Structure 1
Amino acid sequence: MTIMNVNAKGVFTGIYYMSATMKKTEESPLQGFQHLPNLLSQPTFGFTIHWSFSDSITVFTGQCFVGDDGKEVLKTMWLLRSHVENIKNDWKATRVGVNVFNRQQLQE
């Protein structure tokens, strides 16, 4: 995942990279909001991914923590909603999970 700059209101955009196979990585847009770091030292945030390769949307919410080693980590929970054709299949359309993201240095 690459998050672009956060604006003065805490709004950000980015790209989420997903590889279902080793052959191809798909890119999907994301948009989110966070409390600004100057207001909270370890801000809460949320973002949504519109998957470009499926009929699903995922929402993430979490918090950015700074560990004792000074490294940032994003701890999240997510809901993925898939399209279903009728209400009888609604029960299997939402999945729940967690992810932990660590900041990586940009590669030149």
Structure 2
Amino acid sequence: MQGTKEKMKDMGSTTKEKLREFSAKTEEKAEKATARNKEEKDMVKENAKAKEAQAKAQLHQEKADHRADSAAGHRGSTRVPLTHHRPAAGNVNYPASGDLPAGEKYF
């Protein structure tokens, strides 16, 4: 179950990262169109690369946070073991052997 939650969170983070990269590329195109000379266009391109790298770094940080949250969830588990407990002999009135006919069962 924890693995599935982690994967879903990772998919959401990946989607956010792709959106950030797309917006950086869109901004780059708009700024390049308004740039007046080659130096300004180069500066715009470098800014776009920096924004994409920052988006990638945020993705890796979010994934690391998901792993940490998942690991913390495993340590503090409140899982109840599934075992069968029989009631104490003094609390239940079991029939003495031989009280039931041979073909019948107690339970």
Q: Same fold (TM over 0.5)?
A: no
TM-score normalised according to structure 1 size = 0.26
Please identify which structure carries the higher strand content. Answer: 1
TM-score normalised according to structure 2 size = 0.26
Please identify which structure carries the higher helix content. Answer: 2
Q: Which has the higher contact order (CA 8 A, sep 6+)?
A: 2
